[in-house]
Chain A
Amino acid sequence: MIGDGFLERFRREGRIVVVGASLAGLRAAETLRDKGFAGSLTMIGDEPHEPYDRPPLSKQVLLGRATADRTALPRRRSVDATWRLGVPATGLDMAARRVRLGDGDEVPYDRLLIATGVRARPWPREEEAELDGVFVLRTRDDGAALARRLAEGPKRVLVIGAGFTGSEIASACRERGLAVTVAERGAAPLVGALGGVVGAVAAELQREHGVDLRCGVMVTALEGDASGRVRAAHLSDGSTVEAEVVIVSLGATRNTEWLAGSGLGAGPRGIACDAGCRAFDFRGIVTDDIYAAGDVARCPHPLFGYQFLSLEHWGNAVSQAGIAAHNMLSESTDRLPHMEVPAFWSSQFGVNIKSVGVPSLGTQVLITQGSLEEHRFIAVYGYQGRVIGAVAFDNARWLPFYQELIERTAPFPPQFPTVDRRAEGQRPVDAGFPDPSVPSHGPTVTLSGYSPADRRMTFTPAH
């Protein structure tokens, strides 16, 4: 197939199918056209909407500053694609190069991009999850429904899980003047992503803004009233919280079930791919016609010893989409590796939080600028004597410098003076990450070893 002129013909009249019509899928499609792909392009998405942006859903949308249906992703160019929206892909036949759809159709491809992302992990007990007033937040429809309910002025909102999304939701509720309780299993909000030292600041922020924050507890049950509306939650410390709205924010599950039995290296931890976004099959052999990008992908990263890294980050989805699209159209020697340093932002309780690198890999942390007490600082994370991540609270303009330190694998702790170094910035302390084997809301960055196969994945032949 790599014969003479294959690529040229493929660029001219090949067939590319993209499954997952969201951020990564759209940006990949745009890049393909930018790079001169003139063949047919099919976009398959199970949501009925054209690609839209998710970060505003937990921010502007909940504040009522934007409505959920006004969050369409800006188009960088026209993609001239066949859109199959509102229909899921249900299977993949790698040998015949076909994607099966929920409506029975089959779509053939020469090259396939999988960008099916993740979905919100639901409340585990189904009958409680179905109570009216119990929400998750991942999609535009979730955002619209939740925003509507918040606008009705519920007496109290309960957020289960204080990761980034849960914390942003709590922040929006407080800004709307709603009473909020946050229940978090860990010792502090954001503890899985940023550790206990910085998590303590996040806890202070929540309490200063009037959140009833309860850490070290689990919600054990949700209780409904006679009409099927949620009315209360029971906590592991024996207490009860009465709430009219409950938002379950317990992290995400990768959308890979539809690939079960296909032979692709896909499982609960995502789709393993090489540094060029080419997917592995379940035997650990890299395919050349299937690519993955965005939240669903796990890619080896040179800065982190080529361990597979999964990122639920907006910027990562965009950059992997670009790399995958480029590589689909390139000779093997022209392909590019995905090497971008992970970066993530969040805004909550009036603070702009931004991180670079992988803080959750750090064992120690040093406050190099500003102070924890003022909630304005830069925390640098160290791992085995090198700088591995940095987090800024209201100080993002310095981060490019720290990103360079990460890229250069600069020694930790950094020995040099900086502007605004305080007494607390003299010595690193334990970063305070929880035991990674204890599940939490998820750090949004996960390292998952060297095996392209998923530990928990078994291969079941298609029947």
Chain B
Amino acid sequence: MPSLPNDNRLLRDYEHGFVSAVEEELVPPGLNEEIVRLISRKKNEPDWLLEFRLGALRAWQRKTEPRWALVRYPPIDYQSIRYYAAPKRWTAGEGLDPEIVNTFERLGIPLDERRQLAGVAVDAVFDSVSVATTHQKLLEEHGIVFCSFSEAVQRVPELVRRHLGSVVPPADNFFAALNSAVFSDGSFCYIPPGVKCPVDLSTYFRINAAGTGQFERTLIIADRGSEVSYLEGCTAPMRDENQLHAAVVELVAYEEATIRYSTVQNWYPGDDEGRGGIYNFVTKRGECRGPRSRISWTQVEVGSAITWKYPSCILRGDDSVGEFYSVAFTNRRMQADTGTKMIHIGRRTRSTIVSKGISAGESVNTYRGLVQVLPGAEQARNHSQCDSLLIGNRCSANTFPVVESENRTAIIEHEATTSRISEDQLFYLQSRGVDPETARSLIVNGFCREVFKQLPLEFAVEAVKLLEIKMEGSIG
């Protein structure tokens, strides 16, 4: 089924790079009102949602692509992209295309009821649609709604309507507007008051079709006193062309609710010459709407040709807490411009930022962060730690931390370091029998420890392995 040259070194490096032979339904390339209406119709959407999309489209048409990030790429022709691709056989009634089941199987995600992963409910998204969501029964017992976005629009339209765009408005930025106009599918999750979600919830995104963008939309609502841990994983086939991924994720945490959102992003990064790879322009934002609520973002970014991503927290509720833990690894010609925004609105709001950037090859790795304290945020606190590690001397690392404080009682601390793997550390490990490659990956893992500690255990193990694979051959 996969048609890849066997001697390709990348294969070892990017084992998810296969293409599945699935029959897909595609809309013609291009973006205009017709296409937006077509997508909305295919999904049988209510009028308010169509209006939401059309409003976003108009906003997008007025906007220009942002150019402030430290990433370089040829102009994207938005009219040549296909905004919708769906496998023909994916609804439960018709039976899932076995090739899709196979695809997820190869990615380590069994969709079969009897063999589902223990302890985690998975929503599997294949190109533009969610194809399966596991552990439905258990979740329903707790009153938890966890399903594809399209399904949520039908099942709990009021919840969706009240929250969609309430954290990331449709006209927020160029890519968010694009997503709001054409978003295809994604995951929806609602945790009722006082419920501690019994399993981790997870979405696995898979881009398969060529010439297609992926524009998923995720909305997670944690009602008063509830708790949920959400994991996101992503892969794509290796293709010579660049593919666009412009997602929007919105989180809402009410009073005393906690949302932990973890991502391991391993989109195809392109080859040695920088050919191909995913352009990852993502808007992720959470709002701590109620007092004492907490939102924690943990991301491990090891893929994509370009990453443009700033998972942020709006700390509206008094005593609410925002956290951002990030590892961004770039290699070859990869470019990452990532960081976070912490907006302190409520009193005694606290935020923590831990960013670990590792650059190798000829890559560019940038941390960009904003800590904003509004006048009412009495005694707000922030601590930021941004560390960069350079491997080799053709890569670069940048740190742009911005602080805007309008309240004198706020305490804001920022620490930043840039280092290389020291020869002393390498020799020390070598003198204990460890080969240099293993030694480097051990040192890098140590460098990332604070972030990996935040991940659920299996995810952490996965992240460590992934980083090891990515580091192989990164020393030129």
Q: Do A and B bind each other?
A: no
Residues of A within 8 A of B (CB): none
By a beta-carbon cutoff of 8 Å, the part of chain B in contact with chain A is none
